[in-house]
Amino acid sequence: MKARTIFALSVLIPFALLVAYVWMTATALPCRDDLYIIIKGGPVEHYLKGALTFSDLWRPDDGQRFLGYNLLMLANVKWFSLNCKIFALLIPFFLLAAVVLIYREYRKSLLPKLSPEFIAATFFMIALIVFNVIQRESLVFGYALSYQSSMPFFIAAFLALEFYLFNGGTKSYVVAVLLSALAVLVFSGKLYIVFAPALGMTFLSCVATRRDRLTQTFWRRALGITVLLGAVAIVYAYRLGENDYNAYPVFYAKEIFAQPLDALRFLLAAFGSSVLGIDVFFACDYISFEMILGVGLFVVILYFAALYLFFRSRMYENTYLPFFLIMQTLFYLVFMAFRRFGLGLDYGMASRFTYVSLFSLAAMIWVFIYAFVSLDKINLFLKGMVLTGWAVVFAGLILTSVVVWRFQPAHRAFFDELSGIAMRVDTATPDELWKFGERPDIVRGALRLLREYRLNVYQNVPVENPPNASLGGAVDVSEKSRSIRQ
């Protein structure tokens, strides 16, 4: 009972802080990716006109399917007049589900080496990472739910697949099938892109570490998993490139291979901003891009140290989840580089990309705790580097949290300004409409559709005479641009 109380406090304290931030900051307005769903001819309009089909829900957006999110969007339209703040407030609860799944493995891996009370207390560090506001953009916009909701499902799918691979059983296979289908086909977000390579690397490490214990039964189960995932992938990929909302997805493979050193800097900046967030970079003049690169390089070294300790401590005998989470971040950031590199070296630092890397940071700390408990002796240099890394990670996350909270009123004021722009959508200038994060023509069309059906900010406003709200003078820190000379 005491361990449960400590665990509840370890999780609920950072969780409550995150909920408070979302409640105080998130906008009810649709922005950025949501605007594609609300455009003329999209699923929202078809639903309102009674012409909705499954193809509307299954239609890809930028090479991704959002079946689960689209269904939630329609439920939001029906019951909450499309209030996107409802989605933002759901995000902490999806993160909570992921944290609870991680804790089950965390506790299992450390028992009986540590007492249940100590395990629950140290889990506070894991929860503090996952619930950190460094991921600000993935918390305050409704569309972020389409990405954040995927993490607990992919973790659950991985754990189900891992259990079946080592234990077998028809029931466990059925559970693995259902969770994998749910993760990839319904709540995939962007993680479907990296699920297969991260899972493949984890399987290879499993084969390498257990090569003397592999039986025919193991390989039959592995074949069954391969068939399952292959079938799910075929369903997902079938005609994926047709009728995409974003007809011209951009890849910068040519630019990356032509400028490999700059591509490396781009990746290091992405790793660095997962610890020392972009809000700190913009707010503090003493934080330079080179400093972010240095932090990124140190974080990469820490990941290598974590992988080394994962194998040396034989942590894989208890769980492969930390390895999977680290691989997931690695592949995700590489994929993100192919999509963002051509926009500038600092475009991989956006806070909306940290929602994946925070889980690998948590996995890294988990590995360090396990190694310190399990190994009798750790090289003095390695121990010093790990402890220093520990301090750097939490110092960076805490500093970023302080800055994000400091600018919370400005972010809230910016969203209030968007509400004012929305209320005079017909006369708003293109520069004003760009603040919604999409092209002015898309923004204007989406807002007019909302006004036509009395949704969102137009719910209680007479369509014939919408008020002309005045604009505030807040500065949106997230929109500040800093040029990085190549």
pLDDT of residue 249: 66
Enumerate the β-bridge partners of residue 61.
Answer: 64
CA atoms within 13 A on the CB side of 399: 19
Is the pLDDT reported for residue 287 higher than 50? yes
What is the rounded average pLDDT of the residues 268-273?
Answer: 96
Q: Among residues 458, 470, 403, which one has the least CA distance to residue 432?
A: 470
Residue at 429: amino acid letter: T
Which uninterrupted H or E stretch holds 110?
helix 84-110
Quickly list H helices, 277-407: 278-283, 289-312, 321-340, 354-374, 380-406
- Residues 332-376: tens digit of each pLDDT: 999 999 988 988 888 889 898 899 999 999 999 999 999 999 998
Angle at 328 between CA 22 and CA 273, to 5 degrees: 55
CA 184 to chain centre: 15
Position 410 confidence tier, pLDDT thresholds 50, 70, 90: very high
Residue at 349: amino acid letter: M
Distances (CA, A) of 421 to 215, 413, 443, 475: 65, 13, 11, 15
Is the pLDDT reported for residue 382 higher than 60? yes
pLDDT of residue 115: 94
- What does the radius of gyration of the chain's CA atoms come to, in whole angstroms? 23
**End-to-end alpha carbon distance in the chain:** 57
pTM of the model: 0.92
**Cα–Cα distance measured from residue 149 to residue 486, given in angstroms and rounded to the nearest whole number:** 36
What is the rounded average pLDDT of the residues 151-156?
Answer: 97
pLDDT of residue 408: 96
| Position with higher pLDDT, 442 vs 465 | 442
- Residues 174-189: tens digit of each pLDDT: 999 999 999 999 999 8
- Residues 27-86: tens digit of each pLDDT: 999 998 888 777 777 889 899 989 999 999 999 988 899 999 999 999 999 999 999 999
Is the pLDDT reported for residue 478 higher than 70? no
pLDDT of residue 213: 87
Residue at 113: amino acid letter: K
Distances (CA, A) of 142 to 18, 33, 136, 146: 15, 9, 12, 8
What is the rounded average pLDDT of the residues 188-201?
Answer: 93
Is the pLDDT reported for residue 266 higher than 60? yes
Q: Among residues 120, 117, 82, which one has the least CA distance to residue 103?
A: 120
Neighbouring C-beta atoms of residue 467, cutoff 10 Å: 10
pLDDT of residue 472: 34
pLDDT of residue 412: 95
Q: Among residues 41, 43, 38, 69, which one has the least CA distance to residue 54?
A: 43
> What three-state secondary structure class fits 61?
strand
Neighbouring C-beta atoms of residue 24, cutoff 10 Å: 13
Residue showing tokens 């999209």: 42
Taking every pair of Cα atoms in the chain, the longest distance, rounded to a whole number of angstroms, is 76
- Residues 310-334: tens digit of each pLDDT: 999 999 999 999 999 999 999 999 9
**Cα–Cα distance measured from residue 207 to residue 316, given in angstroms and rounded to the nearest whole number:** 11
- Residues 63-80: tens digit of each pLDDT: 899 999 999 999 999 999
pLDDT of residue 36: 77
Residue 314, both tokens: 């034989």
